[in-house]
Amino acid sequence: MSEPRANLPRPAPAPSVSIAAVARHANVSVATVSRVLNGQQVVKPATRDAVMAAVQTLGYRVNEMARNLRTAESRLLLVLVPDVGNPFYAEIMRGIDSVARQHGYLVVLCDTGADVEREHTWFDLLRRRRADGAICLDPDTVQHALAHDNAHLAWVACAEFDPAMAVPYVGIDNRLAARDAVQHLLERGHRRIGLINTDETWLYARQRKQGWHDALTEAGITPRADWCINTHSLDYAAGNAAMTQLLALAAPPTAVFAVSDTLAIGALAGARSLGKRIPHDVAVVGFDDIALAAQTDPPLTTVAQPMRQLGETAVQLLLDLLADRGRPPAHVLLPHRLALRASA
C-alpha cells in the first residue's frame, strides 16, 4: 500500500463524482444538493451558491441513469422508420428531433425495413423501459399487426396510419392530394395518365391510387389497368424500371403520376434513357417535395407534404399521450400543396 497521493496530475478528470461528493464538499445534505440541481425555490440563496460552487470545482454532472430510475422515465423516444435512406423520412426526423429535444427527450432512429418482426424487437425496448414512447412510420398493415400486442404502450403513427386503430396519428389527406396532382395533369390536356405506385401494403399507396382513379373518372376517363405499375421499393431504380415499362405500352401514357419523389426521379431517368423529353413527351408529377426535387432536369412538379411539421406534430401527440395516458387518441390531418415546376 502506498500513501495517498494528493497532488499528482491526473491523466483524466475523475470520471465519477456523485451527488454525495458534492454534498460533502459543500457541507450540506444530498437532499439539498438535489433540490438545488432541480431548481427548487425553497433553498436559501447562500446555500444554493455553496452547492453550485462545489458542483463547479468538482466538475459534477448528474447521472441521468440514476435519476431516470428514480423518476421511472428514460427520456428516450423511438422513431420507427422503414427506410432510413429515404430523404422523405430524413426531413420528418428533423422535425421530430427538434421538438423532442426542446422537451428534454432524446430520439433513437430505428430502422425497421417495414418488417413486423423487427418492429416487435423495437417495441420490446418500450417494455423494458429503455424508451418512453415511439413514433411509427411503418405501413398501416404492419401497424395493424402490432396494435393488439402493444395497446398499452405509448406510441403514435405518423404519415402512415390505419384510421381504424385506437392510436393517435398525424398525416395528410392522401386521396385528395393525389386527386389534385392528377387534376393538374388533366388541366394540361393529358388524357392517358399513368400511375407509378408502390406496394399496396401501404395505406397511402391505396389512397393515392384512389385519388388518381377519382380524378380520371371525374374527367370521364376510364383508368386502364396497364397504366398502373406497382413497384416493390421506393428507390430510384424502381422508378426507372416502372417508367420504362409504361413507355413500352402500345399507347403509352403522356403523363405519369408517381407516388413518391424518389420514384419520380427514377422515372425521369428512365424516360430520358429512352430518348424522351420531359415534359414534352411525358410529363411527370411526384409526391413529397424532397430537396432533390428542385434540382432534377427538369425540376420536378410534385405534391409537397409538410414533412417537418408532420414530425413536429407527431412528437407533440406522443408527449400529450405520455402526459395523459387516458386521453382519446387525437387524429390530425395537415394540408398539402402542389409545387409547380417544369416537369409537368
Partner DNA sequence: GTGAAAGCGCTAACAA
Partner DNA sequence: TTGTTAGCGCTTTCAC
Contact residues for DNA (CB under 7 A)?
16, 18-20, 27-32, 34-35, 37-38, 42-44, 46-48, 62-63, 66-67, 69-72
Q: Which amino acid is at 163?
A: P
Residue 12 or 46 with smaller CB distance to its own copies: 12
Tell me the number of residues near its own copies by CB under 8 A: 52
Decide: 154 and 105 in contact? Cβ < 8 Å.
no
Q: What is the DSSP string of 225-250?
A: GGGEEE-S--SHHHHHHHHHHHHTSS
Q: Is 91 in the site for its own copies (CB under 8 A)?
A: yes
Residue 317 or 319 with smaller CB distance to DNA: 319
> Phi-psi bin for 220: left (phi > 0), alpha (psi -120 to 50), beta?
left
Q: Is 52 in the site for its own copies (CB under 8 A)?
A: no
Q: Which amino acid is at 332?
A: V
Q: Is 103 in the site for its own copies (CB under 8 A)?
A: no
Residue 203 or 300 with smaller CB distance to its own copies: 300
Q: In this structure, what is the dihedral angle of CA atoms 233, 235, 236, 237, given to the nearest 10 degrees?
A: -50
Nearest residue to 107 (alpha-carbon basis) of 74, 138, 76, 130: 76
Task: Provide the CB-side half-sphere exposure for 87 (13 A, CA).
Answer: 15
Residue 76 or 256 with smaller CB distance to DNA: 76
Instruction: Return the CA Rg of the chain.
Output: 27
Sequence-ordered list of residues with C-beta below 8 angstroms from that of 50, at least 6 positions apart, any chain: 26, 27, 28
Q: Is 20 in the site for its own copies (CB under 8 A)?
A: no
* H/E stretch holding 92: helix 87-102
Name the binder of 308 from DNA, its own copies, none, CB < 5-8 A by kind: none
Residue 66 or 342 with smaller CB distance to DNA: 66
Name the binder of 29 from its own copies, DNA, none, CB < 5-8 A by kind: DNA
Q: How far is the CB of 265 from its own copies (least distance, A)?
A: 7
The 232-261 site mask, x for binding its own copies (CB under 8 A), equals ---xxx--x---------------------
Decide: 154 and 134 in contact? Cβ < 8 Å.
yes
Residue 19 or 205 with smaller CB distance to DNA: 19
User: Residues interacting with its own copies, by CB under 8 A?
Assistant: 11-13, 15, 61-66, 68-69, 72, 74, 76, 84-85, 87, 90-91, 93-94, 97, 106-109, 111, 124-125, 127-130, 151-152, 235-237, 240, 265-266, 268-269, 272-273, 291-292, 294-297
